[in-house]
Amino acid sequence: MPEKVTLAVFSGEMDKALAAFNIAIGAASMGMEVSMFFTFWGLNIIKKNQGPIKSRGLMRKMLNFMNRGGSKRLPLSRFHMFGLGKWMMGRLMRDAKSPSPDELIAMAHEAGVKFIACTTSMGIMGISKEAFIPEVDSFAGVATYLAEAKEGRVNLFV
Amino acid sequence: MKADATLDCIGLYCPMPIAHTAKKLKELAVGQVLEILADDEGIKEDMPAWCRATGNELLGIEEEAGGYKIYVKKSK
């Protein structure tokens, strides 16, 4: 039976997402079974880039307007500088032939990494399933995460 | 060293060389040898680790100007 690796992806910044996906793709390449649980701000990574996020209530509408998310909209955790820092980091990454978050999502999915979106965060923030990319395998809670994590020896919180 | 296939990973950083190696090796038969060209220095440690973890055999790493030639035999 293959070894399991689980990642709890809490952060919604591009640099942290890159680290999470690189570890996930590396682990999948080593024959491990990988699950990524996206929760709270981490949900932004797996939101669709197109279209509005529909939700009910003024506060949720405001939150989803300000916290739109999508793999192309993720800020840097340091030196974002209203987008200038991110633009520069994007240039450096292209120079180094380093894949973008989009490409990493596709690679991870192709390598068999399972994407799970946290339904509690979705409920609190008022985000529906339609807001997410089709690569998301399931919508679940902490028990699903722990059931996977207890069978693995590598558990990371990003 | 003779190889059955070659994979060019020049200019690619971790984890792409091992990710591409894992994918490429699936196309080969057991016993065949894959030659990987890479220039990220981390590969010197990463490919042996990848081979240990996946049970494939590392036949050798040749260091040359501008990069490394790595030979991996598909073992299972």
* Cis geometry, peptide bond prior to residue B15 (ω within 30 degrees of 0): yes
Straight-line distance from the first to the last Cα atom of chain B, in angstroms, rounded to the nearest whole number: 21
Chain A residue at shortest CA distance from B19 = A29
Of B19, B50, B54, the CB nearest to A111: B19
What domains sit in chain B, N to C, each tagged with a CATH number? 5-73 (3.30.110.40)
Interface ipTM = 0.85
Average pLDDT over residues A71-84: 95
For range A28-32, the mean pLDDT: 95
Residues of A in Cβ contact (< 8 Å) with B23: 29
Interface list for chain B against chain A, based on CB atoms closer than 8 Å: 11-16, 18-19, 21-23, 50, 53-54
User: For B31-66, what is each residue's pLDDT tens digit?
Assistant: 999 999 999 999 999 999 999 999 999 999 999 988
The per-residue pLDDT for range A96-126, each reduced to its tens digit, is: 999 999 999 999 999 999 999 999 999 999 9
What is the pTM for the complete model shown?
A: 0.91
- Cβ–Cβ below 8 Å for B54 and A30: yes
Candidates B5, B12, B14, B33; catalytic one: B14
Q: Do A30 and B12 touch (CB under 8 A)?
A: no
Quote the CA–CA distance of B52 and B48 in Å, as a whole number.
Answer: 6
C-alpha distances out from residue B13 to A102, A114, B20, Å = 17, 23, 11
Q: How confident is the model at residue A1 (pLDDT cuts 50, 70, 90)?
A: confident
Class of domain A4-157: alpha beta
For residue B76, what pLDDT band results from cuts at 50, 70 and 90?
A: confident
- Measured between CA atoms, the residue of chain B closest to residue A104 is B16
- d(CA B5, CA B21) in angstroms, rounded, equals 11
